[in-house]
Structure 1
Amino acid sequence: MEMYETLGKVGEGSYGTVMKCKHKVSGQIVAIKIFYENPEKSVNKIATREIKFLKQFRHENLVNLIEVFRQKKKIHLVFEFIDHTILDELQHFCHGLESKRLRKYLFQILRAIEYLHNNNIIHRDIKPENILVSQSGITKLCDFGFARTLAAPGDIYTDYVATRWYRAPELVLKDTSYGKPVDIWALGCMIIEMATGNPYLPCSSDLDLLHKIVLKVGNLTPHLENIFSKNPIFTGVVLPQVQHPKNARKKYPKLNGLLADIVHACLQIDPAERISSTEILNHEYFTRDGFIEKFIPELKAKLLQEAKANLSIKPNTKENEFMKDERKTVYTNSLIITSVLGKEMEKEKRPREIKTRAMKVKGLGKGDIMEPKKIELEDRRCQQNTIENAHTVPQGAKPVISEPSNPVNSINISNGIKDESHTGESMMMPPINLTSSNLMTSNPSSNLSHPNSRIRWRRLCLMSEQVKVTK
């Protein structure tokens, strides 16, 4: 940390802390994720997995890992600093994002997902907190602690818990043969939240989530019904049988018609029937009115500006030991310009300064986080008294359950690491993502109409889940 000046804490979670820092030589603002020193290998496993994927897979809409080093036995990941997430925007746009902004964000998110899926990678934790948004409107998928390569036919995944609100039914029922469709399900849930301002399937337990899926999306398939009936956790539980509208636009009346079609195709109970990321990108929602042809040049120009701003840090390439127990090689991102933007970078001689917003503390008691200033967001107040749903629950559906008690754009990377053993400032350690994976104290029964109250409640619910490390 001797090369960085600490500016403040961005967030804190179950795995450690993210700090906002400034490189002392270049002045570049970065986010440093510092993992807790854990006698168990779970934290190291998550850190190692994230390093592995971020050094191997590079795309404009994936977060950039700048360098990795170890200090006082703590793993430090240095990322480009992006000051807010989709969730932060939803605090201000409490009725959902404006349609043009929504389409631009979704297009970029889908590019990232398509890139991962084309490389047989599933992210497994897609949610608003894990979509970073730069000041120029570039979205970047982050937090690869749960990402993994698609299993070969016949292979199974170990026990895994994703963020519950975005968990596909096959994950809820612990079907170990899941694949890319789990990301598509999570995307569908997130689209509704981005469009309406409200989470679609907020829940407090797997049983609660299953019940809401049946009420609002569809009945379980015979395969999933079989898994459900054999699971001792759900013994004695009977899920309702509900008749759902077959027409997507009647099922999701609060969504734009074309967007409702996409959501309906994402939220299919049978994973085999879910749409793919490539198919969504080719959907009329994106292809109509020349959107892609107009937006790609705009996107490239913004990426060009941000790429130039990230060229300032020259990483140390000294090779050393990463961990005592696991002799893993970590890598430093040399930030060589991507092949797509390389020629354009050479043409442009005048770098433009990209300013980073200052952070401010919100007084939330224990678990305080540093949150970004409002960034050109609509200053609207929610007048809702409860969290609305993006879809009307079918008539005649009665809850009959109770909670059981047990319940590439390729960037070259040099093979090098840094190990800083000097005594520096003591730091707490990292969350899964910036600003959003924070333990917060809040009363879930309080009025959720105020954006900040709803966010606190949401984070409390999400962080109360016990996250399990996967294979």
Structure 2
Amino acid sequence: MQFGGGLGLVLALRLSISQKVEKLQQLKHPNLVNLIEVFRRKKKMHLVFEYCDHTLLNELERNPNGVADGVIKSVLWQTLQALNFCHKHNCIHRDVKPENILITKQGIIKICDFGFARILIPGDAYTDYVATRWYRAPELLVGDTKYGSSVDIWAIGCVFAELLTGQPLWPGKSDVDQLYLIIRTLGKLIPRHQSIFKSNQFFHGISIPEPEDRETLEEKFSNVHPVVLDFMKGCLKMNPDDRLTCAQLLESSYFDSFQEDQMKRKARNEGRNRRRQQNQLLPLIPGSHISPTPDGRKQVLPLKFDHLPNI
């Protein structure tokens, strides 16, 4: 539910998922949307989330040719920080997409919509139909129920590509079409996923068309810096085990300039705070009406003549 064009969410949920709500309350991070209040009404549980100004989808709509490099790095850095935190707590989001990445007026990223989120339990089988199709990893598309946090990494790669160009990387019209577009770029499915696809009753009698020609990521993004392409390729591996982790992506040289800017900004802010504190400690000169100026410089008072000499 939207309030005043922003995103202060109130979700009505069945009481049977109260355990998931409890887990959500435990996931506290600056880049995860904050759960403010939980209350019950008419046998339903209502969740009230913090207000955020807009979504990453709004940013893409305003920038149809791609988002500015500095904004992309800030979005990815903060989103990866949030997902890294979730993965460390054995939680996968499973529906990372521009619509679920909120942005505050201060430019702080907040991941929302944990409706598909799942706690990882070794050996468990999970629901295969999760995540919006365009950001869905191959293992989810074929119906594999044994997957992990790497599905979120795949989604990050798709979001990254979309931020660069302003257009979805693989805008499939169906699950089979989505697989076709992915295969056209990255090549064949791994043997396990081929086997699962063939045995999935949902795809009975259906086969994935063989692409007549390929368009690799290198060809799709021929104008980007090699570091950018390496980052993307680290996310978009057919084999989930080959994808980089959030921690590894955060160590990528892609973020070097961003981290330098962050350190400079932090140093400037700390310098301002020190000067502000020093100015507050400066005493008023006895018998004087002159108080310290905010920047510590001498205050120059305008001259006042009580009497002008006769000429």
**TM-score range relative to shorter protein:** 0.7 to 0.9
Residue ranges of structure 2 left out of the alignment (5+ in a row): 270-276, 278-311
Partner residue of 2:132?
Answer: 163
Give CA deviations for 1:27-63 in whole Å, capped at 9, x if unaligned.
Answer: xx9824142xxxxxxx527964652332111111111
Counterpart residue type for residue 10 of structure 2? K
1:148 and 2:125 aligned = no
Distance 2:7 2:69 in 1: 31
Partner residue of 1:81?
Answer: 51
**Retained in 1: the 8 A contact 2:102–2:111?**
yes
Partner residue of 1:123?
Answer: 93
**Retained in 1: the 8 A contact 2:116–2:130?**
no
Distance 2:99 2:133 in 1: 13
1:208 and 2:177 aligned = yes
**Retained in 2: the 8 A contact 1:110–1:281?**
yes
Counterpart residue type for residue 130 of structure 2? V
Counterpart residue type for residue 51 of structure 2? F
Partner residue of 2:159?
Answer: 190
Residues 34 and 238 from structure 1, CA distance in 2 versus in 1: closer, same or farther, beyond 3 angstroms? closer
Distance 1:182 1:273 in 2: 12
Distance 2:243 2:199 in 1: 25
Counterpart residue type for residue 45 of structure 2? I
More helix by share: 2
Residues 160 and 301 from structure 1, CA distance in 2 versus in 1: closer, same or farther, beyond 3 angstroms? farther
**Retained in 1: the 8 A contact 2:7–2:54?**
no
Query: Alignment partner of 2:14: what SS?
Result: helix
**How many Å apart are 1:225 and its aligned residue?**
1.2
1:108 and 2:83 aligned = no
The structure showing larger relative contact order (alpha-carbon pairs under 8 Å, at least 6 residues apart) is 1
Distance 2:253 2:260 in 1: 13
Distance 2:32 2:73 in 1: 18
Residues 257 and 20 from structure 1, CA distance in 2 versus in 1: closer, same or farther, beyond 3 angstroms? same
1:258 and 2:227 aligned = yes
**How many Å apart are 1:155 and its aligned residue?**
2.2
Give CA deviations for 1:413-455 in whole Å, capped at 9, x if unaligned.
Answer: xxxxxxxxxxxxxxxxxxxxxxxxxxxxxxxxxxxxxxxxxxx
**How many Å apart are 1:278 and its aligned residue?**
0.8
Residues 227 and 301 from structure 1, CA distance in 2 versus in 1: closer, same or farther, beyond 3 angstroms? farther
Partner residue of 1:31?
Answer: 8
Partner residue of 2:32?
Answer: 62
**Retained in 2: the 8 A contact 1:202–1:209?**
yes
Match runs of 1:422-437 below 5 Å: none
Residues 46 and 217 from structure 1, CA distance in 2 versus in 1: closer, same or farther, beyond 3 angstroms? farther
Counterpart residue type for residue 261 of structure 1? D
Query: Alignment partner of 2:10: what SS?
Result: strand
Partner residue of 1:278?
Answer: 247
Q: Percent identity?
A: 41
Residues 228 and 300 from structure 1, CA distance in 2 versus in 1: closer, same or farther, beyond 3 angstroms? farther
Counterpart residue type for residue 76 of structure 2? L
Distance 1:204 1:245 in 2: 18
Counterpart residue type for residue 97 of structure 1? V
Query: Alignment partner of 1:69: what SS?
Result: strand
Query: Alignment partner of 1:66: what SS?
Result: strand
Distance 1:301 1:160 in 2: 47
**Retained in 2: the 8 A contact 1:121–1:150?**
yes
**Retained in 2: the 8 A contact 1:33–1:76?**
yes
Counterpart residue type for residue 72 of structure 2? L
Residues 136 and 199 from structure 1, CA distance in 2 versus in 1: closer, same or farther, beyond 3 angstroms? same
**How many Å apart are 1:86 and its aligned residue?**
0.2
Partner residue of 2:238?
Answer: 269
Residues 276 and 137 from structure 1, CA distance in 2 versus in 1: closer, same or farther, beyond 3 angstroms? same
**How many Å apart are 1:268 and its aligned residue?**
0.7
Query: Alignment partner of 1:31: what SS?
Result: coil
Partner residue of 1:292?
Answer: 259
Partner residue of 1:311?
Answer: none
Q: Comparing 73-82 with 160-169, which one deviates more in the overlay?
A: 73-82
Distance 2:240 2:15 in 1: 28
- Alignment coverage as a number of residue pairs: 269
Partner residue of 2:3?
Answer: 20
**How many Å apart are 1:198 and its aligned residue?**
0.6
CA radius of gyration, larger in: 2
**Retained in 2: the 8 A contact 1:65–1:77?**
yes
Distance 1:201 1:245 in 2: 12
Query: Alignment partner of 2:261: what SS?
Result: helix
Query: Alignment partner of 1:20: what SS?
Result: coil
Residues 93 and 50 from structure 1, CA distance in 2 versus in 1: closer, same or farther, beyond 3 angstroms? farther
Counterpart residue type for residue 295 of structure 1? Q
Residues 114 and 243 from structure 1, CA distance in 2 versus in 1: closer, same or farther, beyond 3 angstroms? farther
Query: Alignment partner of 2:181: what SS?
Result: helix
Counterpart residue type for residue 33 of structure 1? V
TM-score by length of 1: 0.53
